Amino acid sequence: MTPIRTLIVDDSAFMRHALGRLLTEAGGIEVVGSVGNGELGLESARALHPDVITLDVEMPVMDGLTMLRRLMAETPTRVIMLSSLTTEGAATTLDALDSGAIDFVAKPGGSLSIDIGRVGADLVAKIQAAAAMSEASFLGHRQRAVQRHPQAPVATRPASSPIQTRSSIAARRLVVVASSTGGPGALNTLVSGLPARLGAGVVLVQHMPPGFTASLAGRLDSAGSLPVAEAGAGELLVEDEIVVAPGGHHLISSTTGRAQLVQLPPVNGVRPSADVTLLSIAPAWRERLLCVVLTGMGVDAREGARAVKAYGGTVFAQDQATATIYGMPAAVAEAGLADRVLPLGRMADAIVAWARAR
């Protein structure tokens, strides 16, 4: 197999060395260049035409976000961001995903992460997934990013703002949305298409580490008509409100319809896991439950979708043409569990129709 030609852009000489060694030892990846700022990154991208770029956020001369936006305009290339585990790092990373980055890996030790090997397998898997994208999928992903985020990030309320509850009506129907790679952009599109009076509660299970889901909720809160916030332990799942499963926790629901947050081990390599959420709530919600599986790597949500179907619920999956990574929705569709396979642009209308059906 042809090795994945990868360019490393990071201002730390130590990080460039550590990443280069990690990727080379993984096999199947060739590090074709290693530079210390965004300006050199752009020059190297034009000269080397790498398959994938790993891109640091904080750099001198030209930072990672500026480089990314210029790269997507001038030399579109698949990018995996490296982010620090901070509130500011999370916000910038979401800007990067809005601007066309495929995915990100959070450095476990901050900007100078001497234990980068802890996330080495995750980084390699995301590089491989980015490289495996078809040209059509990548160009579609980039075009959707341009349409969502042509200039500057959208202003949002602080990520920590609680939901301003407009109704205390316990949800009579529930929509659980599962997503991973490409999910933040897909969720933005989905949430912006939902009306203020949906007639169902919504739970979003996006694969992200702690801290990042709070920023995601803040972004989505400004995307559409429904209020969005991170789920809190013991909160009632309410109609016409969206909650996001917090990074580092699995979200389950009690029989009374209250969210419970648990720190059981990762499932399918992730926490939160959509399988955990769906398997826990399918027996109680039965035909009142809709599972929506969007873009993402892996097979999380497949077994949960199987449970949803077994208890009389409904399953929708995103189609291949509009998915950044056709992994999770493919696993559901190929297992024969999807009642409908839909393009992203039609998913919100399908959810509304389901929520309002007798």
141 catalytic? Reply is no
Catalytic annotation, pick one of 84, 111, 180, 215: 180
Catalytic annotation, pick one of 141, 149, 207, 249: 207
319 catalytic? Reply is no
Catalytic annotation, pick one of 56, 240, 300, 319: 300
Partners of 293 in the β-ladder: 178, 317
Within 13 Å and on the Cβ side, how many CA atoms surround 57? 25
Backbone dihedral region for residue 21 (phi beyond 0: left; psi -120 to 50: alpha; all else: beta): alpha
* Interaxial angle between packed helices 13-26 and 120-132, expressed in degrees from 0 to 180 and rounded to the nearest 10: 70
- Spatial contact of 298 and 328, defined as CB atoms under 8 Å apart: yes
> Does an H or E element contain 317, and which?
strand 314-318
Helices (H), 60-118: 64-74, 87-98
207 catalytic? Reply is yes
Max CA pair span of the chain: 61
Helices (H), 204-301: 212-221, 274-285
Give me the active site residues, please. 180, 207, 300
